[in-house]
Amino acid sequence: MIRARSLMLLALFSFACNGAQTPGTPSKAASDETGGSKKGDLGPPVGEPIQAVLTNSPEVPPPTGRTQPAKVVVELEVREVTKAISEGVDYTFWTFGGEVPGKFIRIRQGDTVEFHLQNHPSSKMPHNIDLHAVTGPGGGAASSFTAPGHASQFTFKALNPGLYVYHCATAPVGMHIANGMYGLILVEPPGGMPPVDREYYVMQGDFYTVGKYREKGLQPFDMQKAIEENATYVLFNGSEGAIAGDAALTAKVGETVRLYVGNGGPNLVSSFHVIGEIFDKVYYEGGSRFQENVQTTLIPAGGSAIVEFYVEAPGTYVIVDHSIFRAFNKGAVGMLKVDGADDLAIYSGKEVDSVYLADMSVTPGGAIAEATSQAAAGQLTPAAQVKAGETLFAGTCSTCHQANGAGLEGVFPPLAASDYLNADPKRAIGVVVNGLSGPVTVNGKDYVSVMPPMSQLNDDEIANILTYVYASWGNSGVVVSAAEVAQVRASTTRPAGAAH
């Protein structure tokens, strides 16, 4: 559908180029130049005003399909909403259109945009919008200051093609952006974007909460952490898992995928990477020219990139910010699931998901979500703990102790029927919270090695993992509670450098 339409567009565009020139239309001689705002005024709007199609991420509106400039009406409503930022963690987001990132806007170079910004009556704050696609002081910010329950309107002509960030610019600006007030506006060049099979909208942002990463409950914004650029979460599309697990982006072998990638910041630049893919093209910084054969592209805060790649092999491709602690410890993980037949000449076909996905493969509505909601209701069952613990164990402990708990001769002690484990649950909690080093004897065999503290796990997660371990492989069946973990955590010390 996208392909057919864009092909038609392309054909029309080349026709227009060879035909009569209207003032301001890019000429053939200038076709190796890519822009400049002077070429962007393609004349007055033609035809009836058009209502812009806006989409929530990860969807992208269809190509404009137009060959002439139009008047385009954009209606965007600001809403302040409380929803999940991670499993069991809520946050009050300020949004353009109800979600983070804000609605994707797609127009064509030369269009005249009549922009209506509404601020929902339930909002507590005034807001405005600065679109980087606007030529003029403030990018629309001054003309769009909008109190709760009010609306404002301004008009601009989109002179430069490209992929632009928009954001709120109401003081304190950093706080409005940190709460999720950003999105993307694509200004297509007159010929449209070249056709591809799939287009997706992905936008990174950093978030600052008073509680630690994955600390449960409603988490307020932490201004000091934001000033220090010490992000608690770094996320694609506004929440952990927004484009992972069941919500992963999808494609089929043999398709070309285009990602419109933005970075709202407010602070961090993104080292955007798809594990196991090479970007065939990157329109770096969201501009008109592309680089080819790129592994990782840098996307500044308040900037964008358009990346394209052809998918040869089926499987799960993990999307990360390659500043890699952000991926594994702050949530910057997405996935592209590709269906189709293996091409063994290109890739041998061994699944590597578990290496990279670890416990990031947590899916909303899965075992962990179930345990979290039971715990929130004060009705956590051991069965739910075991199920959640199984998933977490696979992503955390199995790397060393193996999926079946057998460990590795002489290197990693067994958790299966471990006399050390079963003798003292409090001590076992301490091992996970604080790590273990030096000589230890398990089932009559000596180990002299190091287990690092599992600093990335919170009390609920450790309780669930240990409950699962105790319920498995001939162990004692002890149930471990988050309160017990908290108690051990409070009464013991971690080696210097452990996260918490």
Binding partner of residue 318 among Cu ion, ligand HEC, none, CB under 5 to 8 Å per kind?
A: none
Interaction residues for Cu ion, span 151-190 (CB under 5 A) = 168, 170, 176, 181
Smallest gap from residue 429 Cβ to ligand HEC (A): 9
117 binds Cu ion (CB under 5 A): no
Task: Indicate the residue among 129 and 249 with the shorter CB distance to Cu ion.
Answer: 129
Binding partner of residue 127 among ligand HEC, Cu ion, none, CB under 5 to 8 Å per kind?
A: Cu ion
Token duo for residue 388: 């959640």
Distance CA 55, CA 105 (A): 7
490's CB contacts (< 8 A; 6+ apart) are none
Distance CA 63, CA 195 (A): 9
Smallest gap from residue 385 Cβ to ligand HEC (A): 13
Taking each helix axis as running N to C, give the angle between helix 382-396 and helix 459-470, from 0 to 180 degrees, rounded to the nearest 10.
100
Residues that bind ligand HEC (CB under 6 A): 396-397, 399-401, 412-415, 418, 420-421, 428, 431-432, 436-438, 440, 442, 447-452, 454, 465, 469
| Burial of 285 from C-beta contacts in 10 A (0-12 / 13-18 / 19+) | middle
Task: Indicate the residue among 438 and 444 with the shorter CB distance to ligand HEC.
Answer: 438
Binding partner of residue 168 among ligand HEC, Cu ion, none, CB under 5 to 8 Å per kind?
A: Cu ion
127 binds Cu ion (CB under 5 A): yes
Task: Indicate the residue among 87 and 359 with the shorter CB distance to ligand HEC.
Answer: 359
Distance CA 150, CA 127 (A): 10
* Ramachandran quadrant class, 331 (left: phi over 0; alpha: psi -120 to 50; beta: rest): left
Distance CA 202, CA 185 (A): 12
Task: Indicate the residue among 118 and 475 with the shorter CB distance to ligand HEC.
Answer: 475
Task: Indicate the residue among 19 and 438 with the shorter CB distance to ligand HEC.
Answer: 438
Token look-up 């790590």 returns 435
Smallest gap from residue 426 Cβ to ligand HEC (A): 11
Smallest gap from residue 465 Cβ to ligand HEC (A): 5
Distance CA 200, CA 60 (A): 6
Smallest gap from residue 400 Cβ to ligand HEC (A): 3
Binding partner of residue 448 among ligand HEC, Cu ion, none, CB under 5 to 8 Å per kind?
A: ligand HEC
| Burial of 82 from C-beta contacts in 10 A (0-12 / 13-18 / 19+) | exposed
Summarize as ranges the residues that interact with Cu ion (CB under 5 A). 127, 168, 170, 176, 181
